[in-house]
Structure 1
């Protein structure tokens, strides 16, 4: 029966509506389970044209299936000797961007060059975007430089690429060279600054924008509110709030959530709560709830955050972000019972315990001095990345369980997880807690020699603490001489105290001199504490 129906449908389509109408039917079938039927109907076309291929590639992009769009359809099209349109290249490059398929994107780029389409504005912008999304900014810039005519879209694409990659200085240089700008260009540059937490530069751009253009949209307003939040400038935020009222942005949910977030981050919780309950009550979403909940959690008000969490469940389903925020609040306020309630809620309601949530649970239980629960959560994890390993290592560090840390590091190496600088900070702290001078020294030098992790300031601080605490003054003095940078005041203070305690006149006087140079207003005098001088 199924075959009869399929044959009848296809025959009727060919007789009555022809290929173009068949493609229209394909578009109508792209949602959900109908996508497969749409693909089957496309396969019934005996000699598909470039239009046909263009549509089916676009279908898979609409369904967020870039893999099929590129690997099944775009490259298969060349086997049929069909010459693709520029829009076909554009769709294929968008698909490559969605799955970070750099190799295939380069192949498509090569075909575009052979067909003389590299300079086509329909192809060039998605080509630059593909390289940017795949982390090849220099390739994107090369495409941009080779364009014979640079339009507003290509300028905006390259500025956005540098901005979102954190290279805001280069982005601003290009932005300043733009012959014309639109609201998307301004937003791209402003988003780059906010993404890089460069609040002062972002504020300067806002003032520049105010004098240069009246072109502004809800995205711009949201970004400006992010700047106010980053600067903790609630008064400026209130001015933006007034602008929102006067210019008709009040009913936009993105703006409403950004305003809520701004008040919360600036500590004006009363305004955040009033705005949430009285103003946006009719159109708030899960982002709104999370913003309000985060506002209270950020300021250590875990009890109120839990109340909001209870209210939230009547209106929307809590997300992973919700649980991460609540668990962080419980960890910072040592609210073990609230943390257990959240953990239990997740278990009862079948939430997935991925590595991010397990890391938050480990952190919460560890800081609440419930290490046995933290270890259970950690060991139950099916997959453990370096972040989760670091969470349990630092959890043990909070509880002064140095031997357990060293055992965990052994297991970590057995599983083949590559340690990073955070891991080694935890390991060196374990050696400090247990007084393992020789082992700590071995771990420190193995960082660069074996694990290719360059020691940072915090690792040198651990070693100075290790040698100072246990009176290994000779090793301490040798270590200081080999350090690649000057000692900080906390480091010098440890050296000063250790020299007094263990009677090292030479090193103590040196530390005293350096401390007095760094802080002349508080002159120190070195005196050994009732021990024989060395």
Structure 2
């Protein structure tokens, strides 16, 4: 029997789930059920009579049980029985925050109360997620009101939805004698807010088929579900219905359209929709900034943030946060400082939503002191702000300062520990990282997969495979085996420690069902790093059956081919990338240039270099050293001239290549000129002084050599003195031989 049957009886308060049938109800509504009642608690004769009589009349067993329990549990009341007096009592309890008591009084009264009281109770139950009380209110309503108002049933559906009991909501929706647009909207909203967008969209489709017109609230819920499942086609259809029903100009719906178009990766349509909003609200601006940020278009996100100030709209703190994150992504320090200034004017500099991304922006823009200044000015420093500043110093390579701040933290969580540990591993401070691991294990038992990955990095950095095996055992005992990040870190550790057998076994037997391209790259890199290019190429062939290789994969393979002079394998990889449409960016071109150069195929290296649309100093250095490897000094000098014409600033690596070119061609004077012109670009390093000693020694410029040694800003190294001594002996300069022989260390 349904809720609205004329033969149904009053449902007692201790049977809130009676009539909620099926596993779905227990799954979606995890509250205890009390529908089982012992038959021995009631007289057999009366029970049998009611059972057979009502079966004859067509009344359900549930209704029989309701009637019996109603007669046994309802005693004469000592409190006022009039609806008005009971209503006043109920409101007194509600005002005092005693919802359970108020509902108990209502549930025990065999009278119908004013509908406004039911509406108020539904609202309070929804706010407190009081599902048991909500069921009692609904049960009382449908028992004493044969035809409850539709608006009250709609409130009941909304209450069930907010309490997370979607099965109850759908049952009530299906049993309603009459529905209006609010009923459909309440059910659709319940599905949307409950995390069931597919069911919400299906119900919306049924609503349209039923000929019920959607309201603005319905469309807002439907657009939210479209964004959750990225239903772009349906979103466009809903957009058309919004225009058709005349809801154009509703800023909430227009902002929702901007949001769903952004989530569906059609930000141009989102921007077009935003431009149609006559008076965008703070929500509208926050949506467009956020969607540009998620599209990795930080420049446009910052632009839209500043556009907002041409209106009279006050941004949310979350909008400031999104704009600062956008500045961090594009290293927009100037704009970040301007946003900081606006935040100070609006009194948001102490807001934790703004302060954390503000520190992060300064850190990523290289302004660590400003980040620390923001941190020091916070009136109350929480765990997030402490972790942010520690992480900032750690990733900036200032591990000592980071550790000092870390030691001052009033409390720490696993993220704080991971930040400090990541700083040590980033700076290759393996011993300090290992000490921190021991300190962490003594201080806390809190550990996650990130911690495990970092500890495995420490084992790899120390080449301590035995410690890595101990960590492997810890992973097995504590249930981290199913985490792919941990599995890949373990694979990388075995590879870097040279234990290729364990790496291969782990790769094949343990993570064969859930490995990804990172797993393949880790295994491939392990073999390539140890000069096993043939095996690396075999792994590459196997990899193509399971996943698409990344640019990182090709970079690793090309480096392996370069180190083993495997020209044919390198050509095959190059051809594979061309055939499969891979982008030849600067990094890949640099790897190709290096491979072809080391494999004595300079012509191909030059072709790859010249075909590049843009060339940075790293790519120039690759071709210069490639020519140096092939002893093409004249070509290096010509390339350096082209480099200057393109306006690329040379670095210390470039000048080392130029000096080597002068050595190969015997251009001692030109090499001297390049050396002394270096000061206009970079400060000369030890390798540059070594490069200058070589041509003076090789070509017999002993006087220039002696002057150069005396002008050096540091004492010559033993290899330098050895080379000078050999040159003096070769060219018969006995005085210099005796001089440098005394300066060389004995033994």
Q: Which runs of 5+ in 1 are unaligned?
A: 7-15, 29-34, 507-521, 525-529
Task: Note if contact 2:258-2:271 (Cα within 8 Å) is conserved in structure 1.
Answer: no
Give the match's secondary structure for 2:738.
coil
Alpha carbons of structure 1 residues 89 and 224: separation in structure 2 relative to 1, 3 Å: same
> 1:44 deviation in Å?
4.7
Relative to 1, partners in 2 of residues 1:17 and 1:340: Cα closer, same or farther, differing over 3 Å?
Answer: closer
After alignment, is 103-112 or 19-28 more displaced? Answer: 19-28
Kept in 2, the 8 Å contact 1:263–1:269? The answer is yes
Partners of 1:59 and 1:157 lie apart in 2 by 24
Q: How big is the shift at 1:57?
A: 2.5
Mapped contact 2:271–2:288 kept (Cα < 8 A) = yes
Say if 1:148 and 1:306 are closer, same or farther in 2 by CA, change over 3 A.
Answer: same
Q: Is the 8 A contact 1:128 1:141 kept in 2?
A: yes
Deviation at 1:155, TM superposition (A): 0.5
Structure 1's 474 and 270: CA in aligned 2 closer, same or farther, altered over 3 A? same
Q: Distance in 2 between matches of 1:178 and 1:377?
A: 53
Q: 1:296 to 1:20 in 2, by over 3 A?
A: closer
1:3 and 2:241 matched = yes
Q: In 2, Cα distance between the equivalents of 1:531 and 1:126?
A: 61
Q: Judging changes above 3 Å, is the alpha-carbon distance between structure 1 residues 297 and 19 closer, same or farther for their aligned structure 2 residues?
A: closer
Q: How many corresponding residue pairs?
A: 495
Q: Which residue of 1 aligns with 2:323?
A: 92
For 1:315, what is the secondary structure of its paired residue? coil
- Name the CA distance, whole Å, in 2 between partners of 1:268 and 1:23: 53
Give per-residue Cα distances to partners, 1:110-160, cap 9 Å, x unaligned. 111111110111111111111112221111111001111111110110111
Higher RCO (C-alpha under 8 Å, 6+ residues apart) = 1
Contact kept? 1:428, 1:462, Cα under 8 Å: yes
Distance 1:167 1:217 in 2: 25
Q: CA distance change for structure 1 residues 56 and 171 in 2, over 3 Å: closer, same or farther?
A: same
On the 8 A contact 2:521/2:553 being kept in 1, the answer is: yes
Equivalent-residue separation in structure 2 for 1:382 and 1:49 (angstroms): 43
SS of structure 1 residue aligned to 2:381: coil
How many Å apart are 1:420 and its aligned residue?
A: 1.0
Alpha-carbon displacement from aligned partner over 1:462-519 (angstroms, at most 9, x marks no partner): 111111111111111110000111111211110111111112223xxxxxxxxxxxxx
Structure 1 segment 361-400 matched on structure 2, within 5 A? 361-400=592-631
Contact map agreement 1:202 1:227 (CA 8 A) in 2: yes
Aligned to 2:284: 52
Q: Secondary structure at the match of 2:411?
A: coil
Q: Deviations over 1:284-317 (max 9, x none)?
A: 1110000000000000000000000001111111
Task: Give the 3 Å change call, closer, same or farther, for CA 402–57 of structure 1 in structure 2.
Answer: closer
Name the larger-Rg structure.
2
Over 3 Å counting, the alpha-carbon distance change for 1:470 and 1:214 in structure 2 is same
Q: Distance in 2 between matches of 1:4 and 1:84?
A: 27
Shift of 1:26: 6.7
User: Conserved in 2, the CA contact under 8 Å of 1:264 and 1:292?
Assistant: yes
Q: Secondary structure at the match of 1:523?
A: helix
Structure 2 vs 1, CA of residues 22 and 459 (structure 1 numbering), >3 Å: closer, same or farther? Answer: closer
- How far the C-alpha of 1:45 sits from its partner, in A, is 4.3
Q: CA deviation at 1:531?
A: 20
In structure 2, the residue corresponding to 1:486 is in which secondary structure?
A: coil
8 Å CA contact 1:358, 1:377 repeated in 2: yes
**Normalising to structure 2: TM-score of the pair?**
0.63
After TM superposition, give the deviation of residue 217 of structure 1 in Å: 0.5
Q: Which runs of 5+ in 2 are unaligned?
A: 1-239, 245-250
- The answer (yes or no) to whether the contact 2:255–2:287 under 8 Å persists in 1 is no
1:18 paired with 2:253, answer yes
Q: Indicate if the aligned counterparts of 1:501 and 1:531 stay in contact, CA closer than 8 A.
A: no
SS across alignment from 1:5: helix
Paired with 1:24 and 1:394, the residues of 2 have a C-alpha distance of: 51
Deviations 1:140-190 (A, max 9, x none): 111001111111110110111111111111111111111111111111111
Flag the 1:279–1:372 CA change in 2: closer, same or farther, 3 A: same
Post-superposition shift, 1:18?
6.5
CA separation of 1:531 and 1:43: change in aligned 2, threshold 3 A: closer
Conserved 8 A contact 2:650-2:681: no
1:44-88 residue CA offsets vs partner (Å, 9 max, x unmatched) = 54433323333333233233333332212x223222212222222
Cα contact 2:620–2:643 (8 A) shared by 1: yes
> How many angstroms apart in 1 are the aligned matches of 2:252 and 2:609?
60
**Quick one: which of 121, 125, 143 aligns to 2:352?**
121
When structure 1 is superposed on structure 2, of 363-372 and 282-291 the one drifting more is 363-372
